[in-house]
Amino acid sequence: MASNNHFTNSRSNLSTNSDAADSVRNQQQQQPGVTFARRTSSGRYVNYSRDDLDSELGSVDFTNYTVHIPPTPDNQPMDPSISQKVEEQYVSSSLFTGGFNSVTRAHLMDKVIDSETSHPQMAGAKGSSCAIPGCDVKVMSDERGQDLLPCECDFKICRDCFVDAVKTGGGMCPGCKEPYRNTDLTDLAENSKGTQQQQRPMLPPPSGGGGSKMERRLSLMKSTKSGLMRSQTGDFDHNRWLFETSGTYGYGNAFWTKDGDFGSDKDGNGGGHGMGPQDLMSRPWRPLTRKLQIPAAVISPYRLLIFIRIVVLALFLMWRIKHQNQDAIWLWGMSVVCELWFAFSWLLDQLPKLCPINRATDLNVLKEKFETPSPSNPTGKSDLPGLDMFVSTADPEKEPPLVTSNTILSILAADYPVEKLACYVSDDGGALLTFEAMAEAASFANIWVPFCRKHNIEPRNPDSYFSLKRDPYKNKVKADFVKDRRRVKREYDEFKVRINGLPDSIRRRSDAYHAREEIKAMKEQRQNREDEIVEPVKIPKATWMADGTHWPGTWINSGPDHSRSDHAGIIQVMLKPPSDEPLHGVSEGFLDLTDVDIRLPLLVYVSREKRPGYDHNKKAGAMNALVRASAIMSNGPFILNLDCDHYIYNSQALREGMCFMMDRGGDRLCYVQFPQRFEGIDPSDRYANHNTVFFDVNMRALDGLMGPVYVGTGCLFRRIALYGFDPPRSKEHSPGFCSCCFGRKKKKSRVSEENKSLRMSGGGDDSDDDEEMSLSLVPKKFGNSTFLIDSIPVAEFQGRPLADHPAVQNGRPPGALTIPRELLDASTVAEAIAVISCWYEDKTEWGSRIGWIYGSVTEDVVTGYRMHNRGWKSVYCVTKRDAFRGTAPINLTDRLHQVLRWATGSVEIFFSRNNAFLASPKMKILQRIAYLNVGIYPFTSIFLIVYCFLPALSLFSGQFIVQTLNVTFLIYLLIISITLCLLALLEIKWSGISLEEWWRNEQFWLIGGTSAHLAAVIQGLLKVVAGIEISFTLTSKSGGDDVDDEFADLYVVKWTSLMIPPITIMMVNLIAIAVGFSRTIYSVIPQWSKLIGGVFFSFWVLAHLYPFAKGLMGRRGKTPTIVYVWSGLVAITISLLWVAINPPAGSTQIGGSFTFP
């Protein structure tokens, strides 16, 4: 890939954590300076900056050079594989902190939590200490956590002491004084496996010697002309084959050569198990996904009805404009304006629904292509790409740690290759409570994850699983399931007790350490001042970790450098990367895990740095920090983000999403959006919390265009799409709406099509040409981290579909991703600390073009819009079993504030450069209409509120929106209503929702439109016009006493100003109905037609507001009867007063001509 070379040559040298080898290689590009380094016993370079040297050196100008200690008999590097594993164990047990104007530190933690950890991947895992006096370093251990003891006397010795004993002590054991039989650490590690399965031989290092970590990672991008060559170990040599530089896409690419001799050696003898295209075509190529078209018997009438309703609406509006109501021209004018807007709004909502589709995946084909032994993958190891999971949380008070822990456990137990999965948790609050809850979850995962794998548990969220109301023993065939479940349930109950007790535990621990520090300070003060009066010593009350040190994040009692908006960046590897080969458990303990893989995915705690004076951009900024940190540490080509309250309900959902990305044409997909499903909703779904009309109707319809919008969670991203690159094979567009008349001659691209995988439009969304990104602009766009820049082409290559068919363009060779991932080292984590610092995004394009986009409270919609605007496509993945499940607010006030936030974001989008009016020509017209509707729908609230008052005004005035209820008006009204009902029925038919769900959505559309949407429009207009920020907050709270009721929060009444418009509409319409009846009854000539018209529309408004009225009443049976009595009396009194003040025409007294019989 040519782009790889471009990115490699454009590395920025500003990163403080780059290797010394990079400094030597790029010394001509650096500014004059001094770089000192020494080579450690593990073979690595340690850099020393000028600040670390004597001050006299700083006054002399030096040229670039590197000083290191050459290898000597006393300074021999140990085996790299062993040293890397030892360093990785050190990294996983260290808490890394750093940030702006501060040194990156690695704090080695003896323990992360108070309880004991047993899993060998767990941070702070217990291990034996070295028995050499004065050395407390942990002894070497294998991947199971067992001690590696080189002598038969089982004398415990660490790696460094063992090396010293071999080199300087004559190879004698310090314990038994006998010579070591084996002094090779590599053989020692292999011999320790005993009867375990042999470890897969490591691939030989790439040619070219050492180099930096990123060079070794990028070695998979290097290739020779050798095709499918076998290494001496008998394993497939990926480092020598991955790229065929002379290949072209299609027939004759990297997958097979033009002469068809695939895998022959240099002499053409076929020593490489040659395979030609005919071998691949011997069996039919099977796609991973397929489209399921809506039956013509449903979709054809649906489209016909849309066309009929458009015509009828046009004729009706023309008729309304021509036939004015001269008796009440003001009433007619308001109604016509509202009806014109409603017709326009309905068109914006309905036109994108013309092409709905369904999709299906085939997991069997995925397994066959990526996890089945083949000539290109003899061992059958997983060839699936890496996947980084993001979980975001900000406040442990509002987002309980137990909920976040269950989400993490569901991710760790997901059915995806363990070595390809990584989980990153963003704690934007920097709370020790979240940190220790994560550590507890990692410890409990040692039991929960193998249990799920052994018995195929669904769902893999322990809280949801143990709360299931169905029979848990159904379809369980293993005899020990009951015993295992009972024991795991008991362990989970203890786990919940520990999580719920963490706040008190942290507070008590901090109080105890604080008291100790005060006593210590007072003793020192007394010793220094023997005769003086000792004053009380004031020490900042810190928050203490389990190992007796200060927590570097937010303290319970905030202090300088330890508050929510001012703390250092923190990274802790809770679970280090798993081994490359499966690690089966043993039958010891309470679970028999003999044939169960007990490895756990990589788990990392991340809390980005926050400092005063910086705009941290809330969730979007936290997600971008995770994107950069994950690119440094694991660099999975795909990213799936979840809110902390959304967990994996279907353990195979990740595989289903990967089917779309790995299918033919999948390289042009920016993301796969899963529907949001919710738990804990009341059975009637009073406030349309399930939102099924949006997720099952609108999103399926958008899937037939360029794809669904991004809704914030449950979305599988392609990493390079988040980086702001254009999709591969993107067509060149001539900008302008009249390019057919004034089209310009297209410039011939300087880059061949196969090298266009990493292209970024140079001039933004409206640039004239999609030219390759300038090399000098790479650091300015992505920042100065060389690790991050070097990881981009790797992620692009690993995210390509499998080139298993000539029609697959921009593919990668089969078996390319079966090599093990790089082990973590301290420099890698230190670089990750640098990229999550508060200053890293300064003068870069993070948040403006790259990553999650800033500037809106609905950053999700804007981020998806930017990708579609560059020509990417997305798909909607609806699985048979819900992929993810989460929670939603069932309280009326909380629901209104949720809708207010969404609507406010839409108004911000409308008044920003992300308005669909400014979309690029790459976006289809119907997709543009859909995004236009996203920004316009809150403005419907203005016309909706006016229309809700029209029935009341009609009843008060005795007039109606039309002169008379003639046949023409009624026929139009009937046709419009019937077509609306038929469209709803057909939507229910092809989407699978129920009629009740459709009606609940209609009801809450009016509730939200008359409350939250109006407030969002007012807030957006004041912000744009006057720059005034307004927030609608809760003013008072009152709750029920029934704690046992699952839906108790549904009946809690919390007053908010958002309730004022709907309450006013209800009261005015109720009074208007009473006034209308009174006026008609007491009139000399009753106008029943006008009364019926006004009352009909008033009941239409009240029927939609019925759930809102129930929410105001609180719990059933708790509303006193006197409330209803007084409400009726007040309505009757007001109506009689109205008739008395304004009696009907022709009457001179109260009551008119009406008399009782």
For residue 378, whether the previous peptide bond is cis, meaning omega lies within 30 degrees of 0, is no
Q: What letter would DSSP give residue 730?
A: P
Nearest to 597 by CA among 789, 418, 430, 458: 418
Candidates 575, 447, 571; CA nearest to 120 is: 575
Other beta carbons within 10 Å of 808: 23
Would you say 667 and 810 are in contact if contact means Cβ atoms under 8 Å apart? yes
Distances (CA, A) of 947 to 78, 731, 951, 1009: 80, 46, 8, 12
Tokens of 322: 């021509």
Asked if 224 and 796 count as a contact pair (C-beta separation under 8 A), the reply is no
> Which residue has tokens 């969220």?
461
Angle at the Cα of 524 (from 521 to 529), degrees rounded to 5?
Answer: 120
**CA proximity to 1060, closest of 1096, 1138, 1095, 1112:** 1112
Burial of residue 766 (CB within 10 Å: 0-12, 13-18, 19+) is middle
Q: Whole-angstrom Cα distance, residue 1097 to residue 1100?
A: 5
Q: In the chain, what is the straight-line distance between the N-terminal and C-terminal CA atoms, in Å?
A: 97
DSSP bridge partners of 156: none
Task: Give dist(CA 811, CA 666) in Å, integer.
Answer: 10
Token code pair at residue 805: 């068919």
Helix pair angle (995-1009, 1012-1025), 10° resolution: 40
d(C-alpha 792, C-alpha 774), whole Å: 15
Please give the backbone phi and psi of residue 575, each rounded to the nearest 5 degrees, phi first: -130, 120
List 293's β-bridge partners, or say none.
357
Tokens of 73: 């008999």
Smallest Cα–Cα separation from 710: which of 620, 796, 792?
A: 620
Strand ranges (E), 560-633? 562-563, 566-567, 569-575, 602-607
| Nearest of 192, 128, 193 to residue 161 by alpha carbon | 128
CA angle 824, 828, 830 (to 5 degrees): 125
CA torsion sign for 519, 521, 527, 531 is negative
Residue 770 annotated in active site? no
Length of the chain: 1157
- With 0-12 CB in 10 A as exposed, 13-18 as middle and 19+ as buried, what is 1042? exposed
Which residues sit opposite 172 in a β-bridge? 179
User: Identity (one letter) of the amino acid at 594?
Assistant: T
Which residues lie across from 812 on neighbouring strands?
802
Q: What is the DSSP letter of 201?
A: P
Helix axes 892-910, 925-936, angle to 10 degrees: 120
Q: Distance (Å, rounded) from C-alpha 344 to C-alpha 333?
A: 17
Among the listed residues 428, 726, 765, 804, the single catalytic one is 428
766 carries an active-site annotation:
no
Cα separation values, 247 from 257, 649, 668, Å? 7, 43, 21
Mutual angle of helices 995-1009 and 892-910, in 10-degree steps: 70
Helix, strand, coil % in the chain, rounded to nearest 5: 45, 10, 45
CB half-sphere exposure, 121, CA atoms < 13 A: 25
Among 22, 566, 685, 860, the active-site one is 860
Distance of CA 764 to the CA centre of its chain: 25
| Rounded-to-integer distance, Cα 551 and Cα 532, Å | 35
Task: Please identify every residue annotated as catalytic.
Answer: 428, 860
